[in-house]
């Protein structure tokens, strides 16, 4: 079982930059009266609480696997807003939710060809699906991490296979949504430009997200070495500007079912 290496403090370091995609995703959701909302991979729950208020939900459930992340959400729970520890891989509700929402979480799960139909099955008639996943896998930050993971110094030392991204091309999500019977949909690829103080900060950025996939399954001293080697290889591949502009691609998808 991989360790729980999610660190709310590290993740929150770039909270300002990370919230724009959440706002854009929430804006895609059409306002309906008092919906029931589920937020898959809700993290620390702050954004779930905002979503609950913004959508005027009568009930919102945040589902999160990491106890570290979920620890903060307890203080946010109130009537109508609750959080449970659970794995999206086990999420199997059917036609239960008016809004199935997931911001920056499903990329941690494999096989989106199978995952999307399962998550979509939770959308009630007339309900909506809203998902945002990173799609930056061809940027040096991601290419170099994947290359390093294949380096013999690390490749044989993982205690479990690192989670590999199952993210699909935007047009494939669009096809799947159509196959799944959504009558309306919008799928877009958007570049978010993050101005970080310097390229060194990119390492701090990915430590809070991408690198946790390796941290959770490498012995701690080896992960320290992994980050050092990663830094050595990554920095020369990035422009040495101040601030450093980090272009980050994300897929935002939204779809709505016909009312029954
Ligand atoms: C990048 S954070 C995003 C958190 C939150 N949605 C937000 O927008 O701030 C991704 C979250 O997904 C959670 N996660 C990853 N895989 C998961 C799974 N299989 N089941 C439940 N949560 C998962 C992680 O623990 C982490 O808190």
What is the CA(209)–ligand 1 centre distance, in A? 9
**Is the CB of residue 73 below 6 angstroms from any atom belonging to ligand 1?**
no
**Is the CB of residue 42 below 6 angstroms from any atom belonging to ligand 1?**
yes
Q: How much is the mean pLDDT over the chain?
A: 94
Best of 39, 41, 135, 217 to mutate for ligand 1, by most ligand atoms within 8 A of CB?
41
Q: Is the pLDDT of residue 239 over 90?
A: yes
Alpha-carbon span 146 to 148, nearest angstrom = 5
Q: Considering only CA atoms, which of 222, 239, 205 is closest in space to residue 104?
A: 205
Task: Kindly report the protein residue whose alpha carbon is nearest to atom 16 of ligand 1.
Answer: 108
| Alpha helices by DSSP H, the chain | 8-12, 15-28, 46-54, 67-70, 112-120, 140-150, 152-155, 170-179, 200-207, 212-215, 220-234
Q: What is the per-residue pLDDT across 52-77, written as a single tens digit (0 to 9) for each? A: 999 999 999 999 999 999 999 999 99
Q: What is the pLDDT of residue 165?
A: 72
What is the CA(40)–ligand 1 centre distance, in A? 7
Taking a C-beta distance cutoff of 8 angstroms, is the pair 132, 103 a contact? yes
Q: What is the per-residue pLDDT across 88-124, written as a single tens digit (0 to 9) for each? A: 999 999 989 999 999 999 998 999 999 999 999 999 9
Q: Considering only CA atoms, which of 60, 47, 40, 61 is closest in space to residue 18?
A: 47
Angle between helices 200-207 and 140-150 (to 10 degrees): 70
Lowest-confidence segment of 12-16, 186-190, 229-233 by average pLDDT: 12-16
Give the residue-averaged pLDDT of 247-251. 96
The percentage of the chain sitting over the pLDDT mark of 90, rounded to a whole number, equals 86
Q: What is the per-residue pLDDT across 157-179, written as a single tens digit (0 to 9) for each? A: 999 888 777 899 999 999 999 99
**Is the CB of residue 248 below 6 angstroms from any atom belonging to ligand 1?**
no
**Is the CB of residue 64 below 6 angstroms from any atom belonging to ligand 1?**
yes
Q: What is the pLDDT of residue 2?
A: 63
Q: What is the pLDDT of residue 148?
A: 96
Collapsing DSSP to helix, strand or coil, 150 comes out as helix
pTM: 0.91
Ligand 1 atom closest to 43 (CA): 27
Q: Is the pLDDT of residue 3 over 90?
A: no
**Is the CB of residue 208 below 6 angstroms from any atom belonging to ligand 1?**
no
What is the CA(106)–ligand 1 centre distance, in A? 7
Q: What is the per-residue pLDDT across 13-41, written as a single tens digit (0 to 9) for each? A: 777 777 899 999 999 999 999 999 999 99
**Is the CB of residue 89 below 6 angstroms from any atom belonging to ligand 1?**
yes
Q: Is the pLDDT of residue 9 over 80?
A: no
Taking a C-beta distance cutoff of 8 angstroms, is the pair 63, 40 a contact? yes
**Is the CB of residue 167 below 6 angstroms from any atom belonging to ligand 1?**
no
**Is the CB of residue 47 below 6 angstroms from any atom belonging to ligand 1?**
yes
3-class SS shares of the chain: helix, strand, coil, % to 5: 40, 25, 35
**Is the CB of residue 173 below 6 angstroms from any atom belonging to ligand 1?**
no
Name the CATH code of domain 8-256 (choices 3.90.1150.10, 3.40.50.1820, 3.40.50.150, 3.40.50.1000): 3.40.50.150
Q: Is the pLDDT of residue 1 over 60?
A: no
Which residues is 101 bridged to in the sheet?
A: 39, 130
Ligand 1 atom closest to 109 (CA): 19
Task: Kindly report the protein residue whose alpha carbon is nearest to atom 1 of ligand 1.
Answer: 104
Q: What is the pLDDT of residue 13?
A: 72
Best of 65, 70, 213, 252 to mutate for ligand 1, by most ligand atoms within 8 A of CB?
65
């Amino acid at each position: 079982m991989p360790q729980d290496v999610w660190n709310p403090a590290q993740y929150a370091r770039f909270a300002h930059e990370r919230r724009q995609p959440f706002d854009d995703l929430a804006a895609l959701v059409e306002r309906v009266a008092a919906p029931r909302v589920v937020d898959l991979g809700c993290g620390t729950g702050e954004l779930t609480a905002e979503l609950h208020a913004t959508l005027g939900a009568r009930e919102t459930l945040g589902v999160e696997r990491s106890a570290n992340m979920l620890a903060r959400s307890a203080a946010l729970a109130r009537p109508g807003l609750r959080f449970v520890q659970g794995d999206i891989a086990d999420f199997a509700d059917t036609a239960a939710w008016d809004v199935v929402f997931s911001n920056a979480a499903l990329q941690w799960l494999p096989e989106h060809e199978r995952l999307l139909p399962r998550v979509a099955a939770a959308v009630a008639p007339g309900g909506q699906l809203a998902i945002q996943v990173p799609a930056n896998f061809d940027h040096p930050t991601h290419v170099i991490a994947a290359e390093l993971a294949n380096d013999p110094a690390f490749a044989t030392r993982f205690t479990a296979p690192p989670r590999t991204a199952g993210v699909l091309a935007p047009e494939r999500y669009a096809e799947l949504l159509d196959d799944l019977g959504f009558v309306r949909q919008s799928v877009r690829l958007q570049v978010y430009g993050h101005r970080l103080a310097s390229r060194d900060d990119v390492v701090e950025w990915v430590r809070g997200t991408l690198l946790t996939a390796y941290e959770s399954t490498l012995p701690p001293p080896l992960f320290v070495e992994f980050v050092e080697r990663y830094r050595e290889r990554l920095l020369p591949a990035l422009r040495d500007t101040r601030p450093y502009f980090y272009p980050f691609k994300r897929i935002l998808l939204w779809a709505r079912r016909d009312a029954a």
